[in-house]
Each structure stands twice: as structure tokens, then as C-alpha cells.
């Protein structure tokens, strides 16, 4: 399998990535990779420079509780509808989970292609997590920014060159996991401590990475017509995510920590904003440490 991946990478370098999907190539942001590159660079510029510079004008962090409530509610509903739609298409078209080509011309396959594009827009919307942290004068953890930025780029590649086929079930799995994550941000902390929640979600993420890597490898092995190089990108990306998350796994399972207890249902709004980072297994730190009020809260 490694030789196949290397061969496909070399072919992409020499011959190019192939032909884009006709259904998505003319949609917003899809005409050129420069579009999503400019979006990502602008996002990083705001998160690491413009946002902190603007927040330095305020002595207190902004209240983002209402924003996060509606942000998470929208993501729960959107991911649930997205996942159910994909599941219906997958069952209707009787797809093979081990290897399925990107089909065109039938209703289910065309709907899947446009759902994949909707997923890209949803991943762009999820970038708003970090804006809430910046408004709270918190440093967005590297793992959160890395995950959100890279997933936008990877999904763009899939939508451009392979919207559907063997990517359908992994996308469905990701959507269902995000429903659980964003529901937990609102309700799960009443029953689980932060450390317990992080352990559960890191484990879920690792299972997802392994499953997606296996299915992408299966698509390359059976050669049913799904673009090999898109599957190779998926494999390399999921392996990279596993390596990035190793530090979180070590700190959660191999470090002795004080026992944490679940917060009460009457938790303050400031605690709710901090829950954003549970998905990524690492707490953030305040950026304005010189503020006396913030030091007292810590």
C-alpha cells in the first residue's frame, strides 16, 4: 500500500491532480485553491494578531455566552440534518463501504456531491469557535487551530476532486461525532468532569481516525474508481492527526491529576466558553495575564 501511495503522489506532482468534479468546480470558493488559502491565512491573521490587538483595548473579556449557545445549537442541528441526509443517500444508493466510486447522473450521487460542498461551508462556520476564545481573552490552543484549519483544506480537496463515493461514510461518521460533541458542550458537563469528557472524546476521535484510514486504504486497495490520490491525502491527514493528538492522549492517560467533579447545572457563562476546547483535549490560557481581575479569577 505504501508503494501505491508514493506512486500516486508522484503522479499528482508530475501530471496534476486530475479533473475536478463538474458539479462542484464552479461553486463559491471552489474555482481555485487560492480562495481557501486566502481564507485560511486571513483567519489566522485575525486569530493571532487582529483579535488580540482589538481585545487589548478592553479591561474585561467579552461575554460570548449567547453567541456560543446559538453557535453550538446551529452546529448540532446542521450536523444532524447533514448526517441523516447522507445516511439516506448511502442506503438508497446501496453503497459499498470498502470501495465506492464517485458516481454522477443519479439523484443520490448528485445530492451527495452538494452535501459534501455543504460540509465545507459547515467546517468554515466551525472556525467561529476560536473567535469566541479570543473574545474571552484566551489563547486558542494549537491543536484546535490546526484541526479546524487543516480540515477546511482537506475537505476542499475532497469536494473538488472526489465528492462522494468512498468519502461518504467517513463524512457521515464525522457528522454524527460532531453532534455528540456540540451537545456535550451544553449538557454533558453536568454529568462528567472535564478530564473524563476529554478522555471520552479523544478516544472517539482516535477510533474515527483509524476507521477513516482503514476505509481510505481499502478504496486504494480495491481500485473501484475512487481517486487514489484523494484517498492517499485522507490517509496521510488522519495519520497526522493521530500524531498531533498523541500529546493529549499522554497528558490525559499517563499524568496523575487531582480528581475533578462535574459542574452544577447552574454553571456561570464563563465556564461554558471554556468548554469549547474539550473537543481538542487541551485547556487554553489567558492572554491578558497582567489584568488584576483575571489573576484573581485564576
Domain residue limits, the chain: 2-12+33-255+266-297
104-130 b/e (C-beta count within 10 Å ≥ 16 → b): eeeebbbbbbbbbbebbbbbbebbbbb
The predicted pLDDT at position 141 comes to 86
The predicted pLDDT at position 270 comes to 42
pLDDT at residue 121 above 90? yes
The residues that bridge with 138 in the sheet, in sequence order, are: 286
Residue predicted with more confidence, 281 or 6: 6
Answer yes or no: pTM beyond 0.75: yes
Going by C-alpha positions, the residue among 162, 185, 290 that lies closest to residue 232 is 162
The predicted pLDDT at position 67 comes to 87
pLDDT at residue 176 above 70? yes
Tens digits of per-residue pLDDT, 209-220? 999 999 999 998
Mean pLDDT of the 174-195 span: 75
pLDDT at residue 37 above 70? yes
Mean pLDDT of the 187-198 span: 66
Q: Which range has the worst mean pLDDT, 112-126, 242-256, 275-289?
A: 275-289
The predicted pLDDT at position 7 comes to 60
186 falls in which pLDDT band (50, 70, 90)? low
Q: Give the Cα separation of 153 and 39 in Å (integer).
A: 10
159 falls in which pLDDT band (50, 70, 90)? very high
The predicted pLDDT at position 10 comes to 55
The predicted pLDDT at position 5 comes to 53
152 falls in which pLDDT band (50, 70, 90)? very high
Going by C-alpha positions, the residue among 88, 154, 153, 82 that lies closest to residue 118 is 82
77 falls in which pLDDT band (50, 70, 90)? very high
Q: Give the Cα separation of 126 and 265 in Å (integer).
A: 25
Going by C-alpha positions, the residue among 166, 161, 175 that lies closest to residue 93 is 166
Assign 138 to helix, strand or coil: strand
248 falls in which pLDDT band (50, 70, 90)? low
pLDDT at residue 278 above 50? no
pLDDT at residue 285 above 50? no
Tens digits of per-residue pLDDT, 47-66? 999 999 999 998 889 888 88
Mean pLDDT of the 106-116 span: 93
Q: Are 172 and 90 within 8 A, CB to CB?
A: yes
Amino acid at each position: 500500500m505504501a508503494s501505491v501511495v508514493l506512486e500516486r503522489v508522484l503522479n499528482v506532482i508530475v501530471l496534476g491532480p486530475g479533473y475536478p468534479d463538474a458539479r462542484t468546480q464552479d461553486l463559491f470558493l471552489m474555482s481555485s485553491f487560492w480562495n481557501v488559502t486566502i481564507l485560511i491565512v486571513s483567519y489566522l491573521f485575525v486569530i493571532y494578531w487582529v483579535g488580540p490587538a482589538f481585545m487589548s483595548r478592553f479591561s474585561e473579556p467579552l461575554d460570548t455566552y449567547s453567541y456560543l449557545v446559538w453557535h453550538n445549537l446551529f452546529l448540532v442541528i446542521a450536523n444532524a440534518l447533514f448526517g441523516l441526509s447522507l445516511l439516506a443517500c448511502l442506503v438508497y444508493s446501496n453503497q459499498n463501504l470498502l470501495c465506492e466510486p464517485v458516481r454522477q447522473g443519479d439523484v443520490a450521487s448528485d445530492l451527495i456531491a452538494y452535501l459534501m460542498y455543504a460540509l465545507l461551508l459547515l467546517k468554515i462556520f466551525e472556525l467561529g469557535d476560536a473567535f469566541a476564545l479570543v473574545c474571552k481573552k484566551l489563547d486558542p490552543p494549537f491543536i484546535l487551530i490546526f484541526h479546524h484549519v487543516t480540515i477546511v483544506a482537506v475537505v476542499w480537496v475532497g469536494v473538488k476532486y472526489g465528492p462522494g463515493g468512498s468519502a461518504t461514510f467517513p463524512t457521515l461518521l464525522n457528522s454524527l461525532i460532531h453532534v455528540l460533541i456540540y451537545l456535550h458542550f451544553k449538557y454533558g458537563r453536568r454529568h462528567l468532569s472535564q478530564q473524563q469528557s476529554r478522555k471520552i472524546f479523544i478516544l472517539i476521535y482516535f477510533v474515527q481516525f483509524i476507521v477513516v484510514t482503514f476505509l481510505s486504504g481499502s478504496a486504494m486497495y480495491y481500485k473501484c474508481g475512487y481517486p487514489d490520490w484523494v484517498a492517499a491525502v485522507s490517509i496521510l491527514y488522519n495519520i497526522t492527526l493521530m500524531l498531533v493528538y498523541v500529546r493529549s492522549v499522554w497528558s490525559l492517560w499517563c499524568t496523575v491529576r487531582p480528581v475533578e467533579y462535574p459542574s452544577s447545572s447552574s454553571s456561570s457563562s464563563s465556564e461554558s466558553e471554556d468548554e469549547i476546547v474539550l473537543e481538542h483535549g487541551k485547556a487554553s490560557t489567558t492572554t491578558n495575564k497582567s489584568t488584576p481581575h483575571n489573576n484573581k479569577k485564576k
